[in-house]
């Protein structure tokens, strides 16, 4: 019998195959214990399959059309600037380091995440529950927190118990500094110490325990190679079990959802989406005058924003990408329908009374949940007129020219980028989509899923 309280564990970038393999080979004892006591399936994330987008979907139960976060890097039409949450150090420098840090730490939650979407922390705290989050990128909640770092004064609104990379710490836990030695897993070391502290005190009703280091390692090593990083994530989860007095005692106290935010696939060649639009005046930081297009690409997804000076229609821009070997599928909207285009083939689709109305080449979008995910990505007011899903094996260079060729990446509609492991213990169901996680969590506490009026 599992507990009434609940822990949501998110291992960033973990593929189902890596988890299943580690459990079978007995190299991840904590994960193996949880898998033996739960219901497991492979599930589908949202699109673009990039961390800020996916974690916003996990925290709100909504796709980007509702939660508003379009990509890891995007063009803010209202502020006429590029928002870069952290594709790479080079990309952050290109977008402006201080501005990027402000966007990632504060603005994503305080401004970019739509008010229409209600986070699990907001809904549960509203029902009198104590929620907690460790390093969770999407954290918006009702409780005001001041930074622990001297010289920073801006408050963030999060769950009651809020720990975010030493920048915000609602309680003094003695956990070590998080950001010093990223490659050796120092962020997860910090999470492990804070998680141990929280479970020892049983200090929450609902905890989001987010472990980002695996994704970092898998980008570098490739999607089937980050075994050490997975072992470290397993160690952090093991620390939670031990803090409850042992694995069985942990499950007596807590129900569990364990998943990742997206998958990863191997990348063997880079592409620059900007190169497909040579001859256009592209938006640049510090000089947006007369720009025709803003292009934001990172990992395996790209956006093309049509600016007022652009002489071509959206469809003509999509046609420019015909024959581009880096491009898998180009998505855009036309006459109330969505269009997926590859070479000269097209699939048109829109939601109908009984499921999707489609016409054209169905084979264009045969990835899991592709119609729903594409539609929702396009319907996001912050998305570009074109959304580009990269071809298999291709990664788009980011603003700083960086990519992970020879390693792993994600972001596209393709199966490997989109599929996530999903494990539940003590819950009514095991979600087939990550947007079903938040409603499941709320239902566990007897709270109804909500949205706000636009
Ligand atoms: Zn990643």
CA 292 – ligand 1 centroid, Å: 30
Tokens standing for residue 40: 């497991």
| Average pLDDT of the residues in 207-214 | 96
Mean pLDDT of 232-255: 97
pLDDT at 333 over 80: yes
**Residue 388 bridge partners (DSSP):** 302, 330
Q: Tens of pLDDT along 78-114? A: 999 999 999 999 999 999 999 999 999 999 999 999 9
What is the per-residue pLDDT for 356? 96
Ligand 1 centre to CA of 71 (Å) is: 12
What does the pLDDT average to over 177-204? 82
> What is the distance in A from the centroid of ligand 1 to the CA of 395?
12
300-312 pLDDT, tens digit per residue, is 999 999 999 899 9
CA–centroid distance, residue 300 to ligand 1 (Å):
10
* C-alpha to C-alpha distance for 134 and 343, rounded to whole angstroms: 44
d(CA 217, CA 233): 11
Q: Which residues contact 33 (CB under 8 A, 6 or more apart)?
A: 241, 247
CA dist 357 → 185, 219, 288, 372, 433 (Å): 47, 37, 39, 12, 21
How far apart, in whole angstroms, are the C-alpha atoms of residue 129 and residue 208?
14
Q: What is the per-residue pLDDT for 424?
A: 98
Distance between first and last Cα of the chain: 41
**2 with 255: CB under 8 angstroms?**
yes
| CA 413–ligand 1 middle distance (angstroms) | 15
Q: How far is the CA of 40 from the centre of ligand 1 (A)?
A: 23
**pLDDT of 180 strictly over 80:** no
Q: Which of 8, 13, 35 is nearest to 418 (CA)?
A: 13
Cα of 289 to ligand 1 centre, how many Å? 32
pLDDT bucket at 277, cuts 50 / 70 / 90: very high
The percent of residues in the chain predicted with pLDDT above 70, rounded, is 97
pLDDT of residue 380: 98
Question: Is the confidence at residue 335, as pLDDT, over 70?
Answer: yes
Distance of alpha carbon 61 from alpha carbon 41, whole angstroms: 18
Q: Ligand 1 centroid vs 261 CA: distance in angstroms?
A: 9
Q: 216 C-alpha vs ligand 1 centroid, how far in Å? A: 6
How many angstroms does the Cα of residue 296 sit away from the middle of ligand 1? 16
Q: Using the mean position of ligand 1's atoms as its centre, give its distance from the Cα of residue 249 in Å.
A: 33
CA 82, 222, 265 angle in degrees (round to 5)?
65
Rounded distance between C-alpha atoms, residue 194 and residue 243, angstroms: 11
Per-residue pLDDT at 440 exceeds 70: yes
Distance from the alpha carbon of residue 87 to the mean position of ligand 1, in angstroms: 8
431 Cα to the center of ligand 1, angstroms: 22
Cα 236 to averaged position of ligand 1 atoms, centre (Å): 20
- Cα 259 to ligand 1 centroid, rounded to whole Å: 15
If you measure from the C-alpha of residue 51 to the centroid of ligand 1, how many angstroms do you get, rounded to a whole number? 6
Q: CA separation (Å) from 271 to 221, 327, 398, 413? A: 20, 9, 10, 17
Cβ(265)–Cβ(392) below 8 Å: yes
What is the C-alpha to C-alpha distance for residues 209 and 83, in angstroms, rounded to an integer?
26
453 Cα: distance to centroid of ligand 1 (angstroms): 32
**What's the CA-to-centroid distance between 223 and ligand 1, angstroms?**
11
- Bridge partners of residue 144, in order along the sequence: 157
Distance 337 CA to ligand 1 centre (A): 31
Report the separation in Å between the CA atom of 50 and the middle of ligand 1, taken as the mean of its atom positions.
7
Query: Which pLDDT band holds residue 183 (cuts at 50, 70, 90)?
Result: low
**H or E element: which one contains 197?**
helix 186-200
pLDDT at position 179 is 59
- Ligand 1 mean position, distance from CA 409 (Å): 6
Residue 437: name the closest of 453, 420, 452 by CA: 420
pTM value is 0.96
What is the distance in A from the centroid of ligand 1 to the CA of 185?
15
What spacing in Å lies between the alpha carbon of 336 and ligand 1's midpoint?
33
- Ligand 1 centroid – CA 293 distance (Å): 26
408-409/394-396 β-pairing: unpaired
CA-CA distance, 312 to 158, in Å (whole number)? 43
| DSSP secondary structure letter of residue 383 | S
260 CA from centroid of ligand 1 (Å) = 11
């Amino acid at each position: 019998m599992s507990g009434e309280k609940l822990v949501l564990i998110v291992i960033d970038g973990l593929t189902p195959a890596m988890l299943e393999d580690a459990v079978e080979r007995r190299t991840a004892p904590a994960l193996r214990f949880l898998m033996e006591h739960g219901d497991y399936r492979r599930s589908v994330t949202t699109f673009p399959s990039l961390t800020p987008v996916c974690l916003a979907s996990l925290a709100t139960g909504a796709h980007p059309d509702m939660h508003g976060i379009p990509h890891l890097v995007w063009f803010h039409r209202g502020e006429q600037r590029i928002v870069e949450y952290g594709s790479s150090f080079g990309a952050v420098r290109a977008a402006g380091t201080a501005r990027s840090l402000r966007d990632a730490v504060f603005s994503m939650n305080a401004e970019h995440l739509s008010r229409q979407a209600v986070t699990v922390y907001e809904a549960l705290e509203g029902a009198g529950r104590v929620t907690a989050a460790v390093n969770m990128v999407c954290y918006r909640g009702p409780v005001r927190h001041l930074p622990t770092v001297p010289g920073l004064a801006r408050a963030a609104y999060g769950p009651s118990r809020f720990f975010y990379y030493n920048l915000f710490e609602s309680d003094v836990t003695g956990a070590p500094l998080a950001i010093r030695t990223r490659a050796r897993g120092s962020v997860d070391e910090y999470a492990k110490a804070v998680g141990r502290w929280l479970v020892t005190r049983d200090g929450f009703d609902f905890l989001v325990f987010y472990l980002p280091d695996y994704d970092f390692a898998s980008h570098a090593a490739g999607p089937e190679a980050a075994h050490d990083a997975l072992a470290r994530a397993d160690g952090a989860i093991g620390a939670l079990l031990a803090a409850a007095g042992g694995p069985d005692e942990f499950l007596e106290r807590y129900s569990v959802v364990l998943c990742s935010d997206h998958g990863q696939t191997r990348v063997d060649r880079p592409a620059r989406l900007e190169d497909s639009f040579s001859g256009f005046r592209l938006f640049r930081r510090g000089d947006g005058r007369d720009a025709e297009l803003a292009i934001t690409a990172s990992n395996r997804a790209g956006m093309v924003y049509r600016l007022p000076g652009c002489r071509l229609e959206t469809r003509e821009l999509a046609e420019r990408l015909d024959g581009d070997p880096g491009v898998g599928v180009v998505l855009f909207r036309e006459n109330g329908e969505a269009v997926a285009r590859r070479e000269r083939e097209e699939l048109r689709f829109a939601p109908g009374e009984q499921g999707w109305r489609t016409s054209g080449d169905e084979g264009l979008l045969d990835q899991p949940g592709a119609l729903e995910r594409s539609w929702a990505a396009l319907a996001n007011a912050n998305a570009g007129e074109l959304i580009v899903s990269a071809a298999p094996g291709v990664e788009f260079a980011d603003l700083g020219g960086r990519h992970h060729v020879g390693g792993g990446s994600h972001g596209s509609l393709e199966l490997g980028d989109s599929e996530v492991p999903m494990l539940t213990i003590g819950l009514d169901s095991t979600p087939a989509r990550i947007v079903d996680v938040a409603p499941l969590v709320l239902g566990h506490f007897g709270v109804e899923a909500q949205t706000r009026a636009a």
